[in-house]
Amino acid sequence: MAKPAFLLDGQSLIAPQSVGDHLFPNTDAEVTNLVQTASAEFAIIINIAMQRLSSTQNRADAVKWLISQLHDVRLKYGPAVWQKLAPIIRSHSSAEILQQCPFTKWSFDKPRGYSGDATLIDFIYQHRAIAEQVAKTTPLGRDIFGYTINAPGPVAVRERRDILTKIVDDTAARVGPDTEILAIAAGHLREAEMSEALSEKRLKRWVALDQDPMSIGSIASQYRDTCVEPVDGSVRGLLAKKHQIGSFDLIYAAGLYDYLSEKVAVRLTQVCLEMLKSGGTFLFANFSDEMADDGYMESYMNWELLQRSEADMWRIVNACANANSAETAVWYGANRNIIYGTIRVNV
């Protein structure tokens, strides 16, 4: 994992540059030389991709090919070169073409001021909330979108939502009507839409905490008259124990640890474990270091994430769990693009 020296934990919003600034340096001369070579390689790749996209046939295959080529270039040249190449790619004329995809464009524009907002994730969920944006798309943009949201990362994100729904429903089945759930960085809490425990009123409360007031507003209006309790709060607030929100049978965070340094991730995990009831579970998800869409995301989408390996996940888990009384696990989702850690306390 790249080792950032920053604290991305607060009300503060996520800026890609703050992730990118902290990667391992090479000598300047080496980097400059390699950037030239990598730029030449990119020029060949993008020419082929643009030619393929200029035909109306098999555009999805063309985008799939481009995404895999960018992943390979990123891997081949390493972080120091990639950090210089990604902005070159972003300012290439091809960006205007690829940003006809509404998902790519939303990520690049960052209308909420930071990366990875809940509306961006709604594109991945193909949620009705983004239907208007999609309707405005050009035919080319729609074809590109047809693949970008079905690339391995988005497939894994949809599976993640379903895993969250299942763990909430399983917790309700295990604990009964007193079940209390906490979602940290809840976004629009889309996992609640399919929850049988919620629709059958088998939960005591489902606290949904997020730093974005627009997301909190969306949860408040969608889940009015349910046990869902939106909380306008932040990781920083949790670490400072500012939010007096009680204790829980399940606490989870999806789409958050990807932005947290290991130090903050460990501290947040410790705080979450303190908020669990006996027998309760903490789950966190992170994009894995096997993710396949990283080159496209970091260049055309300007969306950077901290990917974690299995060993990175275990370091967080082991730094927090009491070996004598906790059950711990780290596992991959089906396509290995997202990795999960769980800690069940006092078992």
- CA 246-248-254 angle, to 5 degrees, is 110
Instruction: Give min distance, CB of 208 to ligand SAM, in A.
Output: 9
Site for ligand SAM in 157-186 (CB under 6 A): 185-186
User: What value does the CA radius of gyration of the chain take, rounded to a whole number of Å?
Assistant: 21
* Position 256 contacts ligand SAM (CB under 6 A): yes
In sequence order, the β-bridge partners of residue 109 are: none
Rounded Cα–Cα distance for residues 291 and 336 (Å): 7
Indicate which single residue of 143, 169, 180, 212 sits in contact with ligand SAM (rule: CB under 6 A): 212
* Position 333 contacts ligand SAM (CB under 6 A): no
Indicate which single residue of 35, 63, 85, 121 sits in contact with ligand SAM (rule: CB under 6 A): 121
Rounded Cα–Cα distance for residues 230 and 242 (Å): 15
* Position 230 contacts ligand SAM (CB under 6 A): no
Q: Is 195 in contact with 169 (CB distance < 8 Å)?
A: yes
Structure tokens at 247: 């204790």
Question: Half-sphere exposure (CA, 13 Å, Cβ side) for 97?
Answer: 19
Instruction: Give min distance, CB of 255 to ligand SAM, in A.
Output: 3
Q: Is 265 in contact with 257 (CB distance < 8 Å)?
A: yes
Q: Which burial class, exposed, middle or buried, applies to 127 when counting CB atoms under 10 A from its CB (0-12, 13-18, 19+)?
A: middle
Three-class DSSP category at 162: helix
Three-class DSSP category at 206: strand
Of 145 and 259, CB closest to ligand SAM: 259
Part in contact with ligand SAM (CB under 6 A); list of ranges 26-34, 84-92, 117-125, 293-301: 117-125
Part in contact with ligand SAM (CB under 6 A); list of ranges 76-84, 98-106, 208-216, 326-334: 208-216
CA 268 to chain centre: 17
Of 234 and 337, CB closest to ligand SAM: 234
Three-class DSSP category at 194: helix
Of 187 and 230, CB closest to ligand SAM: 187
131 C-beta neighbours (distance < 10 Å), count: 10
Indicate which single residue of 102, 187, 280, 333 sits in contact with ligand SAM (rule: CB under 6 A): 187
327-332 β-sheet, strand order: 228-232, 205-210, 180-184, 248-253, 276-287, 338-344, 327-332
Q: State the binding string over 21-40 for ligand SAM (x if CB under 6 A, else -).
A: --------------------
Residue facing ligand SAM at closest CB distance: 187
Of 9 and 143, CB closest to ligand SAM: 9
Instruction: Give min distance, CB of 12 to ligand SAM, in A.
Output: 7
Of 21 and 162, CB closest to ligand SAM: 162
Indicate which single residue of 74, 105, 110, 190 sits in contact with ligand SAM (rule: CB under 6 A): 190
Instruction: Give min distance, CB of 31 to ligand SAM, in A.
Output: 31
Residues engaged in binding ligand SAM (CB under 6 A): 9-10, 116-118, 121, 185-187, 190, 210-212, 215, 234-235, 254-256
